[in-house]
Amino acid sequence: MMMSSDPRAIAGARVGKGLVKRVWSFARPYRAATVWFLVIIVAEAMLGLAPPLLIKRIIDVAIPAGRTGLLTALAMLMIAAAFLGAALSLVERWLSSRIGEGLIYDLRAALFDHVQRMPIAFFTRTQTGALISRMNNDVIGAQRAVTQTLGSVVSNVVVLATTLVAMGLLEWRLTLLSLVLLPVFVIPAKRVGRRLQDITRESFDLNASMNTTMTERFNVSGALLVKLFGRHDDERRQFTQRAGRVRDIGVRSAMYGRTFFTSLTLVGAVGTAVIYLVGGRLVLSDTISVGTLIALGAFVAQIYQPLTQLTNARVDLMTAFVSFDRVFEVLDAPNAIPDRPGAVDLVAPAGRIELDSVWFRYPAGADVSLASLETDTEAALPDEPSVPVLRGIDLTIEPGQLVALVGPSGAGKTTLSMLVPRLYDVTEGALRVDGHDVRDLTQDSLRAAIGVVSQDPHLFHETVAENLRYARPDASLAELEAACRSARIHDVIAALPEGYDTVVGERGYRLSGGEKQRLAIARMLLKDPAIVILDEATSHLDSENEIQVQHALAEALAGRTSIVIAHRLSTITAADQIVVLEEGRIVERGHHDDLLDAAGLYADLYHTLVRAQPV
């Protein structure tokens, strides 16, 4: 069951046993280190009792009796306690960092693996910045829940308990008096704590929104769009509005916290003064010793600090567990396109594709996304799929055939091509590759048999060679050059300052549109797939380059099943089969000349578009 993505629902929730149990199970590799971490904390708390008791002994026994040796021994014990405390503190910090950094690593690795395996529909709806925020801010918040918050709570509980026991043994009346002010700590803590929790959650959401804005505006495409439309001032205004809200929340959070803790500090100071006032009178009446009063004064300071922190422990825990909640929410997001149990590998693919009465609707938002990762986090996700995009498609493509998908925009051409590598699942009917329903095949083996070159190919901000080797990590330089020669891009790469070691820039923006297309084609050729899908793959090429690449593709696609989507109909006239789509249905199919003679939609498209294209 996917956890609620409604922030208001999470805000009203309590930290249940299930969540705590899951956190503990996720921290399984660090349980031994966590136990030792808690043992060290307890040892530090117990060691904190030594200085006041040693001071009492010095004042009440060593000094009045003039026992120099005892005074020296007690002072040395205080020094030893200080050194031991410092050593324990270092060990505690080492364990804390080992647990915390390890947990960050595990959570980030799990999130990254889960998210990158989600279907493409998830990414078409999700804000990239919100995902990045989950992997950074929330993961770090979750780590704090296990180390800082847990350690602080345990330490404060132990310090408070042991200190109260020590005080009770010294003077029970003053111990009870020191607890009279306890309600003053507890009453305001709940209200202020809830408000701080709400402010923290709102800050998380706003930071995620700012991350999204920066991610979209600071990549090359976003920066170019802002410049071309001259929207710098509007962007600055919108960003500063969000940043201003974060600033205001930060100020409110700081003031809530400081006012709360300042009040508690004042209460602690008053409590300490009362102890010295009443205890001083007891000293004057010879009821207790001076050493006992000084020890009690030191202990009172020690109990008010953990009391101050423990009154807000629930808030700290809830705030930290909100991060776990948000991390688990993404980890629990169901993958709408998983491998079926018993799925088999596609072995030695021949490339036969069969669509049998295929209907397709884009899935409902509630089935593929999380409201908290979308732009309007308060709005409910739609729970109904789209209208039918493909309607009863029957199509068989034999191995080695070149099939062209033609039709007006929105006819369903790209959608149909995305069903082949199973980026989406058919809604009704079946799509088979070599006789296997693609839902019965492992996705890795299916996609290994398919090469895709899209209209806007994506290149990583890495070298030319690294982008090419994304298709085949073990490819040699000679193999890279051979693929690039086939795609007519080798000469361009060789002329670059660093050749194949040249960094192409984000999304390949150091290359022209045609160069990116040819590099993407070379990457596809390097993969050597049985099935090739070209979605407007020559759209950015000028006439001369298009002729070169068409010759390269004609040679490279020989023997492979090919699906070509093209608006430039002059490029697909030699296709084995031309399939014409309109409103999600196949309205015509056949060879180029036959379709022209039929004088239907294809003929209209051809005559309209070809006349507008340069020869």
Residue range 456-465, pLDDT digits in tens: 788 888 899 9
Q: Which residues contact 404 (CB under 8 A, 6 or more apart)?
A: 563, 564, 565, 566, 572, 575, 577, 578, 579
Beta bridge mates, 360: 390
Strands 402-406 and 561-565: parallel
**Per-residue pLDDT at 108 exceeds 80:** yes
Joined together, the tokens standing for residue 190 give 């709940």
Is 7 a residue whose pLDDT tops 80?
no
Q: What is the predicted pLDDT for the residue at 429?
A: 96
**Domain spanning 16-331 has what CATH number?**
1.20.1560.10
Type and span of the H or E element at 21: helix 17-26
Residues near 78 by beta carbon (within 8 Å), at least 6 away in sequence: 50, 51, 54, 55
Q: In the structure, what pLDDT confidence band is assigned to residue 29 with cuts at 50, 70 and 90?
A: confident
Chain centre to alpha carbon of residue 120: 16
How far is residue 272's CA from residue 301's CA, in Å, rounded to a whole number? 7
CA distances from 81 to 50, 85, 318 (A): 7, 6, 35
The H or E element containing residue 578 is strand 577-582
Long-range contacts of 263-268 (CB under 8 A, 24+ apart): 263/188, 264/185, 264/304, 264/307, 264/308, 264/311, 265/308, 267/181, 267/184, 267/185, 267/304, 268/300, 268/301, 268/304, 268/305, 268/307, 268/308
Domain boundaries, the chain: 16-331, 451-528
Question: Any bridge partners for residue 503, and if so which?
Answer: 463
422, 355 contact by CB (below 8 A): no
Diameter of the chain measured on Cα atoms: 122
Rg of the chain on CA atoms, in Å:
35
Q: pLDDT digits over 110-133, tens only?
A: 888 888 888 888 888 887 777 887
Model confidence band, residue 544 (pLDDT cutoffs 50, 70, 90): low
Q: Is the pLDDT of residue 523 over 50?
A: yes
Contact 171, 292 (CB under 8 A): yes
Q: Indicate the pLDDT class of residue 188, thresholds 50, 70 and 90.
A: low
Sign of CA dihedral 412, 417, 420, 424: negative
* Cα distance between residue 541 and residue 387, in whole Å: 35
- pLDDT score at 570: 60
Distance (Å, whole) CA 91 – CA 40 = 8
CATH 3.40.50.11540 holds for 451-528: no
Nearest 5°: phi and psi at 579? -110, 120
Return the bridge partners of 359, or none.
Answer: 428
pLDDT band at 546 (very low <50, low <70, confident <90, very high): low
Entry field: residues in the chain: 615
CA–CA separation, 439 and 425 (whole Å):
8
Q: Order across the sheet with 577-582: list the strands.
A: 450-453, 531-535, 561-565, 402-406, 577-582, 585-590
Residue 249 identity: I
Q: What is the mean pLDDT of residues 168-192?
A: 74
Q: What DSSP element (H or E) covers 531?
A: strand 531-535
Only one residue has tokens 């805000």, namely 11
Q: Are 60 and 68 contacting, i.e. CB atoms less than 8 angstroms apart?
A: no
Helices (H) and strands (E) in the chain, counts: 26, 10
pLDDT score recorded for residue 326: 82
pLDDT band at 5 (very low <50, low <70, confident <90, very high): very low
pLDDT (0 to 100) of residue 272: 81
Tell me the three state secondary structure of residue 586.
strand
Is 277 exposed, middle or buried, given 0-12, 13-18 or 19+ CB atoms closer than 10 A? exposed
- Taking residues 32-44, report their average pLDDT: 89
Return mean pLDDT, the chain.
Answer: 82
Confidence of residue 449 (pLDDT cuts 50, 70, 90): very high
- Label each residue of 469-496 as H, E or C: CCCCCCCCHHHHHHHHHHCCCHHHHHCC
| Arithmetic mean of pLDDT, 540-559 | 67
Would you tell me how many other CB atoms lie within 10 Å of the CB of residue 256? 16
Q: What is the β-pairing status of strands 450-453 and 436-437?
A: unpaired
> How large is the average pLDDT for residues 5-19?
48
Amino acid at 150: L
pLDDT band at 548 (very low <50, low <70, confident <90, very high): low
With beta carbons less than 8 A apart as the criterion, state whether 355 and 393 touch.
Answer: yes
- What mean pLDDT is predicted for residues 244-259? 80
Convert 490-519 to b/e letters by CB count within 10 Å (16 or more is b): bebbeebeeebebebebbbbbbeebbbbbb
pLDDT score of 230 more than 60: yes
